[in-house]
A and B are shown apart, each in its own frame.
Chain A
Amino acid sequence: MSFLESVLSALDALRVNKFRTALTMLGMVIGVAAVIILVSLGEGTKVYITRQFTDLGTNLIIIQPGRTETKSPLGPPPGGATRKLTLDDTRALRKQGTLLAAVTPLMVGSGTIQRVGRQRDVTIIGTDDHFTTIINIEVGSGRFISANEAFTGRRVCAIGHTIREQLFGDESPLGKIVRIARSEYRVVGLLSKKGTTLGMDMDDIVFIPVRAYQKLFDVSGLFGIRAKARSQEDMDAAMEQCRKILVRRHQGNEDFTMISQDAMMSTMGTILDMLTYILAGIAAISLIVGGIGIMNILLVSVTERTREVGLRMTVGARPVDVLKQFLTESVLMSIVGGIAGTALGLGVSWGIGLLSESFEPIATPGVVVLAMGFSLGVGVVFGVYPAWRAAALDPILALRRE
């Protein structure tokens, strides 16, 4: 019997009990759809988070004071007193860091911003003019902090969109005076609406010159330094350059930690991949349950068709022919179920994408192939036992069965 004929014959057999066949396939449909939906949600999340990272800016190098020493279980090496990162470090990087496009100091804290009776608790960032080169924020009106202001500590500020709404309403904030902590600042810039990135409301931040921040909170060191490499290709070299410059300035101690944006993203990606696989694994359990359903129905079918099997054997079907016949039915159910499940899974993923503005599940061809392959495998694995039972029938006894 040719392959096509086997398939047609199996279709014929499955058509006899349409409802039963459909219910059996439903198990596969749900299993495959669940795998596809969950994996595409995972992929979508990964892309979403990656976009959040890149929204912040690209080729970003994060430098923080202090060293997380994972190599030695005895703690930091002796004699290496931790130094703070300073504005001088920032200047040195900017001067000597030929592979860097920009370097900016960063201070982060929180405080109150006030204006005639209205007040709001906000995030305060102290930085300089390079900040807008490194981090993707746009000045909507006015200007950002200038280089000169950053180092003189002149009391000016740029405010986020939400702060403007809360303190000024529709009024233009430019040139107005606000009180940040204990001091008065003149608003010189209003930032464009940005939204939330990585859980931080970018519109609820007030930016002040870094020196002003240090004076305001009476601190000397920096929270950290942010730098941007000239290009993606220069990333590793740029990081190495930063490291050398800072180590030299810190008397040979590497008492700071550098993380590239790529490293953060790949760590994040690994975690998300793991979560996705766990979810897919859970969904795959339902595929196995679907396979057990197929096996169950096939066993019933073998019992019902014992006489047919006996007759076929009598007129010349070898055991292997009978085996093939039932295996074909099993694989057919699992494949048709798999195709329907793929359609359902893709449909639901697409639907979720329609409902959400910023988030879109991504069904890769890989997951579709994987789910289909798995359903085929389930059909074979769970079809073998019933098919073997049929093939092992004794034609004499099978013919006599009522």
Chain B
Amino acid sequence: MNGEGERAKNGSGRGSGEKPLIEMRKVWRVYRSAEVGSGEADVIALKDIDLTIGHGELVAIMGASGSGKSTLLNILGCLDRPTSGSYLLEGDEVASLGSADLARIRNRKIGFVFQSFHLLPRYSALDNVALPLVYAKVRRSERRRRAKVELQRVDLESRIHHRPNQLSGGQSQRVAIARALVQNPGILLADEPTGNLDSKTSLEILEIFASLNRDRNVTVIMVTHDPIVAAAARRLIRLYDGAVVEDTKTPAGASA
């Protein structure tokens, strides 16, 4: 399969590199009152976070609402920048990059899966999956080929021409996973990936994550409320009030 060759090309030393995949040092994220738009005081979302995540980890981030886990995920996903501190992604500083550079990093290195799927309603499953390739300037025929391969991997080859409104929740999330992986990123960020799914479908999705992590060596980072999801991870990071209060191996991790 072509995917193997591509991964060898861009995933230089994935899983065995000397540098950690993600390295955060003294990361603060403060929402200035002007930025928030209210007359209130500044809001500290993340306080002095030090966090290292290696290649091939399967991590769950938990915490109550307002604990800063979404902010952390946004910064990890290069959708937001720390107010201060350093964020090295594969050894490169990304904390001070501009929005165009961050867009390129998101496009190549990070896949996103959301609670509400975020599929474009006008597009077929195939076109939704191919969307990141559009911004990587991949030729149309090549985009379709790679999107099809990715949809086959999540067992949706029979649904490639369906629109999102013709898909079930589980199918939609599988399309979203295919989209997240079509560029062969090293990191998959999932924000409450099972939040809109029933428990049986949730387990299917978690199984896909586990197999991606196991078979394609993708680093999976999930933000969740759900203990079942957290239990599927090998490492659990718990946030409280913008700070890491717990960072442990889960039973799954310990047994692995």
Q: Residues of A at under 8 Å CB distance from B?
A: 1, 5, 12-13, 16, 307-308, 310-321, 395-396, 399
CB within 8 A of B100: which of A1, A314, A319? Answer: A319
Nearest CB in chain B: distance from A400 CB, A: 9
Q: Does the CB pair A315–B122 fall under 8 Å?
A: no
Binds A, one of B49-57, B135-143, B212-220, B235-243: B135-143
Complex CA gap A317/B112 in Å reads: 14
Q: Mark B100-127, 1 if CB is under 8 A from A, else 0.
A: 1001101110001010001010100000
Question: Could you name 27 residue pairs across A and B whose Cβ atoms are closer than 8 Å?
Answer: A1-B135, A5-B134, A5-B140, A13-B122, A16-B122, A308-B120, A311-B131, A312-B131, A313-B103, A314-B106, A315-B106, A315-B135, A315-B179, A316-B104, A316-B107, A316-B132, A317-B103, A317-B135, A318-B99, A318-B100, A318-B103, A319-B99, A319-B103, A320-B100, A321-B103, A321-B135, A399-B118
Tell me whether B74 is interfacial, beta carbon within 8 Å.
Answer: yes
Complex CA gap A16/B122 in Å reads: 8
Prevailing SS type, chain B contact patch: helix
Complex CA gap A311/B191 in Å reads: 14
Tell me whether B48 is interfacial, beta carbon within 8 Å.
Answer: no
Prevailing SS type, chain A contact patch: helix
Nearest CB in chain A: distance from B142 CB, A: 13
Do A395 and B135 contact each other (CB < 8 Å), given the known contacts A314-B106, A318-B103, A320-B100? no
Tell me whether B43 is interfacial, beta carbon within 8 Å.
Answer: no
Tell me whether B64 is interfacial, beta carbon within 8 Å.
Answer: no
Complex CA gap A321/B103 in Å reads: 10
Q: Does the CB pair B132–A315 fall under 8 Å?
A: yes
Nearest CB in chain A: distance from B32 CB, A: 14
CB within 8 A of A1: which of B74, B106, B120, B137? Answer: B137
Complex CA gap A313/B107 in Å reads: 9
Query: Given the complex, which residues of B lie within 8 Å of A1, measured CB to CB?
Result: 134-135, 137
**Closest chain B residue, CB of each to CB of A402:** B116
Complex CA gap A395/B140 in Å reads: 25
CB within 8 A of A316: which of B80, B106, B140? Answer: B106
CB within 8 A of A314: which of B108, B112, B134, B137? Answer: B112
6 extra interface residue pairs, beta carbon distance < 8 Å, beyond A1-B135, A5-B140, A320-B100: A16-B122, A311-B118, A311-B131, A314-B118, A315-B106, A315-B112
Query: Given the complex, which residues of A lie within 8 Å of B140, measured CB to CB?
Result: 5
